[in-house]
Amino acid sequence: MPNKTLGFWSATSIVVGSIIGSGVFMKPATMAAQLGSPVWLAIIWIIAGIFSLFGALIYAEVGAMLPKTGGLYVYFRYMFGDFVAFLYGWAGFAVINSASVSAIAFVCAQYADYFLHLPRLSAAAERSWVWHIPLLGNLYPLQNLGVKALAIVLILVLTFVNYLSVRASSAVQVVSTFIKVLVIAMLVFGIFCSGNGSFSHFVSPGVHPKHGWELIGGIAAALTGAFMAYDGWVNVTFVGGEIKSPQRNIPRSLLTGLIACIIVYLLVNQAYLYAMPVDAMAASPLVASDAIAIALGKTSGAIVAGMIVICAFGAVNGNTLSIARVTYAMGKDRLFFAWTGKEHPRFHTPGNALWLHGVWASLLVISGSFDMLADMFTFIAWIAYLFGAIGIFMLRKKMPGQPRPYKVWGYPVVPAVFIAFAAFYVVSTIWNDINRYITGEAPVVNSVLGLAITALGVPLYLYFRKKRSRKSEV
pLDDT of residue 459: 94
CB 258 within 8 A of CB 49: yes
pLDDT tens, residue by residue, 307-352? 888 888 888 888 887 778 889 989 988 889 889 988 888 888 888 9
pLDDT of residue 60: 84
334: left (phi over 0), alpha (psi -120 to 50) or beta: left
In single-letter form, the type of residue at position 252 comes to: R
CA distance 320 to 354: 8
CB 73 within 8 A of CB 391: no
pLDDT of residue 474: 54
Closest to 279 (Cα-Cα) out of 21, 37, 3? 37
pLDDT tens, residue by residue, 151-166? 999 999 999 998 988 7
Q: Where are the domains of the chain?
A: 8-469
Closest to 263 (Cα-Cα) out of 49, 58, 52? 49
pLDDT tens, residue by residue, 92-136? 888 877 888 888 888 888 888 888 888 888 888 877 777 766 655
Confidence of residue 433 (pLDDT cuts 50, 70, 90): confident
What is the average pLDDT across 5-14? 83
pLDDT tens, residue by residue, 232-250? 787 787 777 778 888 788 8
CA distance 150 to 442: 29
Is the previous residue joined to 412 through a cis bond, with omega within 30 degrees of 0? Answer: yes
pLDDT tens, residue by residue, 350-380? 889 999 999 999 988 887 666 677 777 778 8
pLDDT of residue 359: 93
CA distance 452 to 375: 14
- Over its C-alpha atoms, the chain yields an Rg (Å, rounded) of 22
- Superfamily (CATH H level) for 8-469: Amino acid/polyamine transporter I (1.20.1740.10)
CB 78 within 8 A of CB 390: no
To the nearest whole percent, how much of the chain has pLDDT over 70? 93
CA distance 203 to 418: 28
In single-letter form, the type of residue at position 234 comes to: V
CA distance 351 to 37: 47
CB 206 within 8 A of CB 37: yes
pLDDT of residue 135: 56
pLDDT tens, residue by residue, 158-201? 999 989 887 888 888 888 888 888 888 888 888 888 888 888 88
Indicate whether 8 pLDDT > 80: yes
pLDDT of residue 390: 94
How many residues appear in the chain? 474
pLDDT of residue 252: 87
Go through 441-472 and write b for each residue having 16 or more CB atoms within 10 A of its CB, e for each that does not: ebebbbbbbbbebbeebeeebeebeeeeeeee
Residue 69 backbone phi and psi in degrees, to 5: -65, 130
pLDDT of residue 133: 63
- Give the global pTM: 0.81
Confidence of residue 45 (pLDDT cuts 50, 70, 90): very high
pLDDT of residue 100: 81
